[in-house]
Amino acid sequence: MPPLTWLITGTSSGLGLALAEELLSRGENVIATARSASSRLASLQSAGATILDLDITASETELFAKIQTSIKMYGGIDVLVNNAGTFEWGLIEETRNEEWVRHFETNVLGAIKLTRAILPHFRRRKSGKVVFVGSENGWRGSAGTGAYSVSKFALEGFVETLQRETSHLGIQSIIFEPGEFRTSVLSSSAKESQLVGDPDYGEFVESIQAGLKESDGKQKGDPKKGVKIMVDVVKGEGVALGRTMPKRMPLGKGCLETVRRKCLETLEVCEEWEQVIESTDFDEVETK
């Protein structure tokens, strides 16, 4: 298979950086993006990536222009990876409105704008793949992660709708849902933490902070293994050879357990409350 051209957001660290490195090792064409790309992505550029300065929170007009610039670099884009994101700890009551907005602008609206910008290109080619990096938090709302969790739930809804609207055009979409992977996200987000805690939340906040300290740097997820599987799944090779690309895919044992538990809990509610739930429909009127 000839190399694919990948446009990836948020490649300065974490899974985005690991993904770019994995793709380069496989001989793929990589357009790596980040803010202040020339300084933050120098190592990727040296490794063979084409770099592009891109702020995911920029205006729709600017992001649409960035997509056109990217297309011209290799004569087309095969895969868009919406990876850029932000994460900050904070209890719902204490998270300021501007922080809710920032999470949505970065984690949801940025991905939406870039996806909308590239769809005409994919429609003309009758092919293309849009990859989203979601989170285990798109399945469960974790205490202290309100703004982040809500944004990831929203992203799940967008991806599912996108799949229904574009699959007949030859466009495939998938959202990967990583659990806890060993990146700098916990330590970096803790610096901006709003877990100050009203006395009513005191013990609760202390338990979250203790868990954060205990988990940081000890997450079970290996970023290199995670991105290798992501590439296999998108390309349909390696562990994905002969398998159909799923619409969503958890990554990590912890996330798999969360997904299974959520599905079972939902089914239990449906079974216990089935008659009550169905009773809200209009009564059927027999017609002769």
Catalytic residues: 148
User: Which residues does 91 contact at the CB level (< 8 Å), separation at least 6?
Assistant: 143, 144, 146, 194, 195, 197, 201, 205
Q: Is residue 287 assigned to a domain? A: no
pTM flag (> 0.85): yes
Mean pLDDT computed over 83-89: 91
163-189, pLDDT tens digit by residue?
999 999 999 999 999 988 776 665 555
Q: What percent of the chain has pLDDT over 90?
A: 78
Q: 128 forms bridges with which residues in the sheet?
A: 171
Q: Is residue 85 assigned to a domain? A: yes
Tell me if 40 sits within 8 A of 49, measured CB to CB.
no
Mean pLDDT computed over 148-154: 97
The whole domain housing 150 covers: 5-276
pLDDT band at 203 (very low <50, low <70, confident <90, very high): confident
Q: Is residue 251 assigned to a domain? A: yes
pLDDT at 219 (0 to 100): 72
pLDDT at 191 (0 to 100): 47
Report how many domains make up the chain: 1
Ramachandran area for residue 113 (φ above 0: left; ψ -120 to 50: alpha; else beta): alpha
Helices first, then strands: H and E counts in the chain = 12, 7
Mean pLDDT computed over 32-50: 96
Among 101, 87, 107, 88, which residue's Cα sits nearest to residue 196?
88
CATH code assigned at 10: 3.40.50.720
Q: Rounded to whole angstroms, how far apart are CA atoms 62 and 70? A: 12
pLDDT band at 194 (very low <50, low <70, confident <90, very high): low
Q: What percent of the chain has pLDDT over 70?
A: 91
Among 52-61, 85-94, 131-140, 166-175, which is the least confidently predicted range?
85-94
Q: Which residue has the higher pLDDT, 197 or 72?
A: 72
108-146, pLDDT tens digit by residue?
999 999 999 999 999 999 999 999 999 999 999 988 889
Q: Is residue 189 assigned to a domain? A: yes
pLDDT at 118 (0 to 100): 98
Q: Is residue 281 assigned to a domain? A: no
Average pLDDT, the chain: 91
Q: Which residue has the higher pLDDT, 284 or 216?
A: 284
